[in-house]
Amino acid sequence: MISTKFLLRVSFLLAVVACWFFLQHPATTLSSHDQGLDPDERFVLETGQPVGELSFEVLEDKTGIHLPSRLFFAHADGRPESPVVGRFKNFLVTASGRELKTIPVGRYDVYVSRGIEYTLDRQEVEILEGNRSHFTSTLSRAIDTSGFISSDFHLHLQFAMRDGAIVSAAAGLDLLTATDHNILKDYSPYIEQLNLGRFMSSVVGSEIDTVFGHYNSFPMSLNRWQERSYRHSIRTPGEFLRLMRRNPGDEIVQINHPRYDASKGGYFNTRLNRDTGEIEYPFFETGFDQVEVYNALTVVEDGENPQFGRNHKLDQNLKDWYSLLNRGIAITGVGNTDAHRYPSELPGYPRNYVLSETDNPWEIDPYKVVDALKRGASSASLGPFIRFSIDDGVQMGATHTARDGSVMLHVNVQRAPWIPLDRVEIVANGKVLKTLSTLEAPEATRHHWDIEVKADQDTWILVLATSDRPWETPFSHFSSFAFTNPIWVDFDGNGYFDPPNPGYPANDTAE
């Protein structure tokens, strides 16, 4: 029989061994308390670097409110390698605009941004081991976008949805349009949980792949498209569009990346001649609401350091779009990112500005956004913001009858001080009618022109704004490009717009 004394001795010995073991091997797994850590802090601690603390605030100068924003960290001594300060490596994003973070020891330049409508700020900070540093960054509104709300109509926020809401708010988007592949994602609970409701609202949509291209649609409340065999059994774009419109029928259907590799969903490839603009496909469907004239994922200039801006791929997309407008096909042009990976692909660069009765994100009605987009009352922007109207406030997308064969264009272009602008082009029926340089006043951030246009033929008119110069750090992989949708001017006064190139040349058999 084992004595009680013996059992006590064994227990004591086991306890001593256990204590010795834990002293030699401190726990390396996270305790339940640690698992509640800020995800950036956990990332930084796992790198094993010595750390200190950074408390920061990002304020809007006029109102003093804390802003959702994005912080880019670079080593202050100019070392090219990126510091790791959180789960997005050298970036932090903040929903609250006021945070306390654990940061590796070092000296940093911190660039604070909130998208293209705000100034860009730079702060210098030094983090010492075990100490706390602080900075307050003040951003001001650099451009007036009143009367318009911003959205990126092609987003795959393929990481945690909470992070997706934060990075979109930090980019200054008013409306988060969720368009993941063949599924529906609702960001509204995250927007509420993060207290972002005063800055952003959201709408549920999807990107649907078919055998003849990829299409985004929103708002969507039910999804019949999960099954690939069903999606891919649809034979023509027309049949697809009819099914899309069936119920409830008041959504946007957008042609995505129209010149992407044919096997990857470029609808225009093999269907719309890239040189002549001739339609080369008997089932070419023209009833889509909008087309991605700018899709950042596919018009980027490839290479080691991808550059986003105006390039030959974007010019091809403009040419394709113009060829449709010249037939009188009023398809709205949009600019989206198709961002999949943060932070290398950034939501909202470019984005769209949609004419809106409200400037308050919480009052955005997705169906009013749909109405405005279907009318073509929007512009797209990678940097500059364009207001364009004709005569007494006739807006983009409208058809307008000229008085005595003449109209007055009102063109207003704004930019934030860190975003260059070189020239503004007026395009009429696909041809550049006038180029306006902004280089005579390089410091000016607002430009306005009133331009009289006379014509004897009906003419659609739109505005482009471009610069070939890179933006400031940390956005030097961007250069500026913006475009409006056209205003359709009935110059001959017969009450409607007679397109300059009516009909389908490919099907023209009248001989």
Residue 95 makes CB contacts below 8 A (sequence gap 6+) with 68, 165, 166, 169, 170, 194, 195, 196
Shortest approach of Zn ion to residue 293 CB, angstroms?
15
The residue within the footprint of Zn ion, chosen from 70, 114, 185, 214 (CB under 5 A), is 214
The long-range contacts involving 31-39, CB below 8 angstroms and separated by at least 24 positions, are: 38/101, 38/102, 39/86, 39/87
CA distance 91 to 347: 14
User: Is 134 or 228 the residue whose CB approaches Zn ion more closely?
Assistant: 228
Residue 155 is given by DSSP the state B
Q: In terms of CB distance, is 175 or 424 closer to Zn ion? A: 175
Q: What is the C-alpha to C-alpha distance for residues 268 and 277, in angstroms, rounded to an integer?
A: 10
SS3 14: helix
Give the residue with the Cβ less far from Zn ion, 209 or 490: 209
Helix (H, G, I), strand (E, B) or coil at 170: helix
Stretch of residues binding Zn ion (CB under 5 A), selected from 73-81, 304-312, 332-340, 432-440? 332-340
Region binding Zn ion by CB under 5 A among candidate stretches 39-47, 308-316, 323-331, 336-344: 336-344
Contact map string, positions 221 to 260, toward Zn ion, x by CB under 5 A: -----------------------------------x----
Q: Which residues, 118 to 137, sit near Zn ion by CB under 5 A?
A: none
Considering only the stretches 210-218, 286-294, 352-360, 479-487, report the one whose residues sit in contact with Zn ion under the rule CB under 5 A.
210-218
Q: Nearest 5°: phi and psi at 178?
A: -85, 120
Residues that bind Zn ion (rule: CB under 5 A) add up to a total of: 5
Decide whether 251 or 338 has the Cβ nearer to Zn ion: 338
Shortest distance, CB of residue 340 to Zn ion, whole angstroms?
A: 7
Contact indicator for 58, 67 with CB cutoff of 8 Å: yes
Q: How does DSSP classify residue 201? A: E
Q: Which is nearer to Zn ion, 114 or 214 (CB)?
A: 214
Minimum distance, C-beta of residue 318 to Zn ion, in the bound complex (Å): 20
Q: Which is nearer to Zn ion, 177 or 202 (CB)?
A: 177
Q: Segment near Zn ion (CB under 5 A), from 139-147, 198-206, 265-273, 286-294?
A: 265-273
Q: How far is the CB of 277 from Zn ion (least distance, A)?
A: 23
Closest separation between CB of residue 158 and Zn ion, Å? 10
Whether the Cβ atoms of residue 132 and residue 315 lie closer than 8 Å to each other: no
Decide: 83 and 73 in contact? Cβ < 8 Å: yes
Choice between 331 and 377, CB closer to Zn ion: 331
HSE (side-chain half, CA atoms, 13 Å) at 151: 30
CA distance 376 to 399: 11
Judged by CB under 5 A, does residue 345 bind Zn ion? no
| Minimal distance, residue 205 CB to Zn ion, in Å | 11
Residue 338 touching Zn ion (CB under 5 A): yes
DSSP of 362-401, one letter per residue?
A: GG--HHHHHHHHHHT-EEEEES-EEEEEETTTEETT-EEE
Listed ranges 86-94, 263-271, 326-334, 435-443: which one lies at the site for Zn ion (CB under 5 A): 263-271
The nearest distance, CB 500 to Zn ion, in angstroms, is 32
- Residues 511 and 250: their CA atoms lie apart, in Å, by 41
Q: How far is the CB of 433 from Zn ion (least distance, A)?
A: 34
Pick the closer one to Zn ion by CB: 208 or 330: 208
Q: At its nearest, how many Å lie between Zn ion and the CB of residue 216? A: 8
Residue 456: CB minimum distance to Zn ion, A: 42
Q: Which is nearer to Zn ion, 204 or 464 (CB)?
A: 204
CB-nearest residue to Zn ion = 214
Closer residue to Zn ion in complex, CB, 298/389: 298
The residues near 271 (Cβ < 8 Å, ≥ 6 apart) are 212, 279, 280, 281, 284
User: The tokens 């911003």 sit on which residue?
Assistant: 150
Comparing CB distances to Zn ion, the nearer of 181 and 224 is 181
Residue of 203, 189, 190 lying closest to 68 (CA atoms): 190
Q: How is 319-366 classified by DSSP, letter by letter?
A: HHHHHHHTTT--PEEEEE--B-STTTS-TTSSEEEEE-S---GGG--H
Give the 3-state secondary structure of 252-315: EEEECCCCCCHHHCCCCCCCECCCCCCECCCCCCCCCCEEEEEEHHHHCECCCCCEECCCHHHH
Residue 291 C-beta: closest distance to Zn ion, Å: 13
Q: Cβ 214 to Zn ion, closest distance in Å?
A: 3
Decide whether 352 or 480 has the Cβ nearer to Zn ion.
352
Cα(232)–Cα(31) distance, integer angstroms: 48
Using the contact rule CB under 5 A, the part of the chain among 95-103, 206-214, 221-229, 371-379 near Zn ion is: 206-214
458 touches Zn ion (CB under 5 A): no
Q: Which is nearer to Zn ion, 71 or 157 (CB)?
A: 157
- Please give the residue ranges that form the binding site for Zn ion (CB under 5 A): 207, 214, 256, 265, 338
